[in-house]
Amino acid sequence: MTQPPRPPLPWTTRISVAVASAVTDAARRSNGTVNRRLLSLLDARSPASAKPHRGVRSADVVVDQARDIWFRLFAPSDSAAAAGEPFPVIVFFHGGGFAFLSPASRAYEAVCRRICREIRALVISVNYRLAPENRYPAPYEDGTDVLRFLDRGGLASADPAAADLSCCFLAGDSAGANIAHHVARRWAAGAGWERVRLAGMVLIQPFFGGEERTEAELRLTGMPLVSVERTDWMWRAFLPEGADRDHEAANVFGTRAAAAAGKLEAALPEAMVVVGGFDPLQDWQRRYYEGLRSRGKTARLVEYPDAIHAFYAFPELKQAAALMEEIKRFVDAHRSK
């Protein structure tokens, strides 16, 4: 049998992804639960810092203490910020298969700081409830509640930075990109929005799926971080008890999707969909892009043939820098729309 190709990675990155894979594998149990105690020892975290670091300051803002919904706000701290320049807002949902990590996790702290600094935007990194303790639709509800909090003026009372909520983007990676899509659908279906206008979605290697095994899932075995065995476990932990992977949360354009989906998708903002050539999920991501296009939506597909899943979290990879440039172009193109 022909062995699948190996992604071209520096040895330092290979070690990092091997450690990350080992941590999640050790924390997830065969009975579908997560060893949170073990994970708390292995998930390195960083505190928010009001003191600027490389032009960015951060603060944690509570939305709903009872449900532990909060976000980490990253804001530019340079002269433009001091002058009250309004910044676009990027609401970011972290990845982790719906079950792992948080805005305080060191990797996401670094990614969101970089987005804030390079894109020149306020970044709101959402802490949503995790599976399996909180299954579907908990993170979708939490994300929508954060948008409602912003729409009611919660950001203005939490931080003095000037936010342009009429130029708001939903962004996320992996499971976070899945959440961004579903929160955008809820925004489109909702009523009474006064301040928040969604200008676009940035979906980085979104985590979608289905009962079918795609060509990439079968071909790209042994890849870092993502495997069929791992993603199957994550869907079982997240989806309602008894549901399969053709549930509309996973297979968003599948035959079981809600009958009203077409009308909701028509109201979605423009999307930028990012795909990596060594990501086993890539076929589902391209189907999502094609699904948007077939429904008359403007969508942009950005592909990195040599990229693994979560490549953006490793600044030593050239594709990580290229992605920041693409996000900046996408955001800048929508600032005045």
Q: Is 159 a catalytic residue?
A: no
User: CB–CB of 185/264 below 8 Å?
Assistant: yes
Q: What is residue 297's DSSP assignment?
A: -
Q: Which of 94, 247, 309, 334 is catalytic?
A: 309
Q: What is residue 247's DSSP assignment?
A: S
Q: Is 68 a catalytic residue?
A: no
Tokens of 278: 């060594």
Please name the residues in contact with 12: beta carbons below 8 A apart, sequence gap of 6 or more: 316
- Other Cβ atoms within 10 Å of 183 Cβ, number: 27
Plot region of 251 (φ>0 → left; ψ -120 to 50 → alpha; else → beta): beta
Burial class of residue 306 in the structure, from the number of CB atoms within 10 Å of its CB (0-12 exposed, 13-18 middle, 19+ buried): middle
Residue with the two structure tokens 């702290």: 109
Q: Which of 102, 105, 174, 227 is catalytic?
A: 174
Q: Is the dihedral of CA 73, 157, 161, 91 positive or negative?
A: positive
Q: Which of 129, 121, 119, 125 is nearest to 107 (CA)?
A: 125
Residue 239 φ/ψ, nearest 5 degrees: -70, 160
Q: Is 21 a catalytic residue?
A: no
User: CB–CB of 132/238 below 8 Å?
Assistant: yes
Q: Which of 145, 151, 173, 279 is catalytic?
A: 279
Type and span of the H or E element at 87: strand 87-93
**Which residues are the active-site residues?**
174, 279, 309
